[in-house]
Structures are given as C-alpha cells and as structure tokens.
C-alpha cells in the first residue's frame, strides 16, 4: 500500500512535466487543430448521447412542479398545461430531438441547428418560435483551456425548451433555486423572462471564465518579466489560443441579444425588453474585456521579443568589450613575435615584464575610458 502510494506520488508530477519535453507538446499543436477544425461545407458528425434525461419545471405564481424523465415523451403533455413550462433536455439524440420538436411545432430548420455542432451563436424567429443558439463556457483548471458546450433555447407560447450536450454540468443551478422560491420574480413573469434569465446566467458565467483566464495572464506576465525562456513563449501561445476560443464565442452573442431587442415578436413582453438590454450591456463589456486581454497578450509577446533582443544585445556587448580589451595584448604579442633581427627590448632582461605590463595597462585604460563614456 505504501509502495503504491509512493509510486503514484512520483508518477503524477513526472507525467505533468514530461509533456513539456517535446516541442509539439510544449506549444500545444493539438489544441490548434481543435480550434481551427471548422468547415461549414462539411456536415459534422454528432455522436448520439447514450442517455437522455428530461427535466421539467412547470410553474406559475402559486405552484411549481418538478419532474425528471428518462425519455422525452412524458413532457409532451406540458404543451397545454396552462402554466409556464421549462423543459430541459440533457443529451442530444436525433430521434428524441425530432420527436419533441415535431410535437411542439418547431420548424425543421431549427431541428437541424439543434443537431449541428460548432455553430456560430445566433438567433432566429421561425413560425412564432424564437430560437437562440450559443455556447456555455467553462474553464478547465487542469488543462488550462476554455471548454464550450452548445445549448439551444426555444421560446414558445408559455414554454421554453433547452437542449444541452453535456448532462453533467450547466450554469442554471441559481435559476433552479429561484424557481423554487414562490416570491421570486421569475415565478411572477411569463416565459420570455425565463429565456432572459437563462441568457443572463450564460453571459455572467463568461466573466467567471475570463477571470480565471485573467489570473493566468497575470502570472504569465510576471514570469515573462522575471525570465525569458521557451516555457514562457509556449504559455503565451497557449493563452492566445484560448482567447481565440473566448472571442469566437462571445462576440456573436452581441448580435444574438441585439436581435432579440429589435424583435417585434408577440412572445416578448415590452416589460422584458429592458432586461435584455441589461444582458446586451454585459455582453458588450465582456467583448471589450476580451479585446483588452488580447491587447495584453500582444504586448506580452512584444515584451518577450524585446527581452530576448535585450539579452542578445547584452551578450554581444560583453563579447565586444572582451574583444576590444584583448586587442592591445594581441597587437603587442604580434609585434614582439615578428621575425626581425632588431626589435626594441627584444633581448632586454626585463622585456617580458615590460610587455606584460603594457598588455595590462592598455586594457585597464580602455576599460576606464568605456566606463567614463557610458558604453556599459
């Protein structure tokens, strides 16, 4: 038992640092392929979820009913429940998505968007249904990467249907807690306020991800200032890739929310428009912050290059000074090493000592002169 524990303690740090030995692993080229592997002309293949779970929150100001189903069929009855229904489908399976969308009269084009992957965040209005597609973002502390999960939100008359890829996580737990409170504002409002609350929590979670990324950027800045090496350059490259992911997911959400604000759909209450404007302000702030992070990374890369050049200049300056200081000794040694019969002090009994003194005095004088002129 003790031996196994020791082996585990040794193996984990070893694996952690072994991945930095190869240049490919150091600069994360696999992550680059994941980020850039997007081709809208090729139909992507989505793996079917092994398990689909459906959570239903059927509520009004007086009561709330929570249900959990292993299939989507039991949630069909909530179409005409005379209350607000939030149907959250965890896990994407084509047959289940088509079944629930056909029952709630959701257009085929929206079904294709729900089943798609790597979609750009967008908003559509089709057949009196308002559709939002965007990504929830998470920060992986172990890998130091920004992970994304596509979520599709369908707003209809007295219902909201959300489709999530990953059943193990989302950002809606505070929303569920509010639904369980009888005096909460969300219980008093219509389905469009529920849609606003979901978008608001997704956008607010962007700031949490950016805060985590900002901490990494601050640590990296201190590392670049303290020491310039390949490890720092690799971290700069890695963080710039994650900022690409962040920017790609945040920037289009601005158009999504703006489209909702400008919409004249009957599904949206005039009282809720001001709340969507608040989400728009948040997403604009998140977009500006993302731009600031990118500027910081560009400046940090310039700082890295300047530090490298500064180190190179310091090395070249030292080498030039050493070369200059050795030049007099080389000249003196060359003069007295010439094959002439008559050279002053050639046969002098103190000739060697005179030459050595000259070789020392001249470089010392040159060193004093360089220092006086501020050359180093």
Q: Are residues 233 and 332 in the same domain?
A: no
| Cross-strand bridge partners of residue 90 | 53, 164
Instruction: Determine the pLDDT at residue 359.
Output: 81
CB 96 within 8 A of CB 163: no
11-20, 39-48, 52-61, 75-84, range with the lowest pLDDT: 11-20
- What's the structural domain count of the chain? 3
| Residue 118: how many other CB atoms lie within 10 Å | 14
| pLDDT higher at 329 or 70 | 70
59-68, 252-261, 344-353, range with the lowest pLDDT: 344-353
- The structure's pTM equals 0.77
137 found inside a domain: yes
Using CA atoms, how far residue 247 sits from 17, 110, 135, 217, 286, in Å, is: 29, 25, 12, 16, 9
Q: What are phi and psi of 16, to 5 degrees?
A: -60, -40
Task: Round the average pLDDT of the chain to a whole number and report it.
Answer: 84
The enclosing domain of 349 has a CATH number of 1.20.58
312 found inside a domain: no
Instruction: Determine the pLDDT at residue 39.
Output: 58
The pLDDT > 70 percentage for the chain reads: 88
pLDDT tens for residues 78-100?
888 889 999 999 989 889 999 99
56-77: average pLDDT = 91
Q: Are residues 301 and 326 in the same domain?
A: no
Q: Are residues 280 and 269 in the same domain?
A: yes
Res 14 pLDDT > 50: no
As a whole number of angstroms, the longest Cα–Cα distance in the chain is 121
The enclosing domain of 205 has a CATH number of 3.30.460.20
Host domain of residue 12:
1-37
pLDDT tens for residues 247-269?
999 999 999 999 999 988 888 98
313 found inside a domain: no
């Amino acid at each position: 038992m003790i031996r196994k524990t020791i082996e585990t303690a040794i193996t984990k740090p070893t694996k952690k640092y072994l991945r930095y030995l190869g240049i490919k692993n150091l600069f994360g080229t696999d992550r680059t392929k994941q980020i850039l592997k997007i081709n809208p002309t090729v139909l992507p293949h989505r793996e079917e979820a092994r398990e689909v779970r459906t959570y239903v929150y059927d509520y009004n100001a007086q009561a709330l009913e929570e249900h959990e189903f292993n299939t989507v069929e039991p949630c069909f009855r909530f179409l005409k429940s005379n209350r607000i229904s939030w149907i959250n489908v965890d896990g994407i399976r084509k047959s289940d998505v088509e079944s629930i969308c056909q029952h709630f009269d959701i257009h085929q084009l929206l079904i294709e968007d729900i089943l798609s992957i790597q979609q750009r965040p967008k908003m559509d209005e089709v057949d009196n249904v308002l559709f939002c597609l965007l990504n929830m973002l998470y920060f992986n502390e172990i890998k130091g990467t920004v992970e994304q999960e596509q979520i599709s939100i369908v707003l209809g008359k007295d219902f909201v249907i959300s489709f999530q890829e990953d059943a193990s996580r989302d950002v809606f737990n505070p929303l569920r807690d509010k639904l369980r409170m009888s005096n909460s504002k969300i219980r008093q409002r219509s389905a469009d306020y529920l849609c606003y609350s979901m978008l608001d929590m997704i956008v607010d979670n962007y700031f949490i991800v950016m805060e985590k990324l900002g901490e990494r950027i601050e640590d990296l800045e201190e590392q670049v200032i303290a020491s310039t090496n390949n490890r720092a350059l690799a971290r700069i490259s890695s963080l710039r890739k994650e900022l690409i992911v962040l920017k790609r997911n945040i920037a289009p959400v601005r158009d999504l929310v703006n489209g909702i604000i400008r919409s004249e759909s009957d599904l949206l209450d005039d009282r809720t428009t001001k709340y969507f404007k608040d989400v728009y302000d948040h997403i604009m702030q998140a977009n500006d912050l993302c731009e600031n992070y990118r500027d910081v990374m560009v400046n940090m890369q310039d700082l890295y290059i300047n530090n490298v050049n500064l180190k190179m200049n310091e090395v070249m300056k030292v080498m030039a000074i050493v070369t200059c200081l050795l030049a007099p000794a080389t000249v003196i040694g060359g003069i007295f090493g010439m094959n002439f019969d008559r050279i002053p002090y050639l046969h002098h009994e103190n000739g060697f000592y005179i030459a050595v003194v000259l070789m020392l005095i001249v470089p010392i004088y040159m060193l004093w002169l360089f220092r006086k002129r501020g050359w180093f």
